[in-house]
Every structure is written in C-alpha cells, then in structure tokens.
Amino acid sequence: MKILSVRIDDDLDEKLRFLMARLKKKDKSSYIRQLLEKSLSEEMFVVLCNQVGEKNMSAWKAAEKAGVSLRKMMKELKKRNVPGYDEQAIKEDIEYALD
C-alpha cells in the first residue's frame, strides 16, 4: 500500500469529523480511503461515459477500464443519458471480444 499525505483546511476537517461521528467511524484513514474510492469510481464513470458518448471508446472497453460488467456500464450510460450503442460500437465490441 502506498502512503499519501494530504493537507486539509479546517472546514474540510470539520465536515470529516461530523460525518465520522454521525456514521460512527473510528478509523480516519480507512474512512478517507472509502471516500476516495467512491469519488474516484464516480469520476471514472464520468470520464468513461464521456468517452463513449464522444465515440472515442466502446461501452465494452469502458466497462473493462472501470472494472465493471458491461451491464453495469450500460446502466451508467443510461443513467447519464449517453447513447452507448450504435452500429459502430457493436462492431468494435465484437472485434474486441474476439481478440
């Protein structure tokens, strides 16, 4: 595991302490890792959905990059109103799956 040091301002620290108290979290490092994982996953979906929407990546490749199933990726695309499949994307996904 890598070590990352981050400085936070008083306002962010206050929010963190509030959440930890309400959620009964004891380990600050563990909780921050959870928050970071959640935030990074969301950011990955934003970027990957944009890539699919701009036809720079197929839904299949996006799912692989996100580490989720194609079904989950399709749900994310639908949730964000991104058209995920057209004829070209299906063709790319078939070619990709056969490699």
| Residue ranges making up the domain that contains 30 | 10-98
User: 5: pLDDT confidence band, cut at 50, 70 and 90?
Assistant: very high
Is 56 a member of any domain? yes
Separation of first and last alpha carbons in the chain: 33
pLDDT exceeds cutoff 90 at 88? no
Is 66 a member of any domain? yes
Is 55 a member of any domain? yes
Please report, rounded to a whole number, the percentage of residues in the chain having pLDDT higher than 90. Answer: 68
Is 78 a member of any domain? yes
Is 30 a member of any domain? yes
Is 4 a member of any domain? no
Helices marked H in 1-99? 10-22, 28-53, 59-66, 70-79, 87-98
Is 75 a member of any domain? yes
In three-state secondary structure terms, 93 is helix
For the chain, what is the domain count? 1
Is 5 a member of any domain? no
Retrieve residue 22's tokens.
């309400």
The pLDDT value recorded for residue 60 is 86
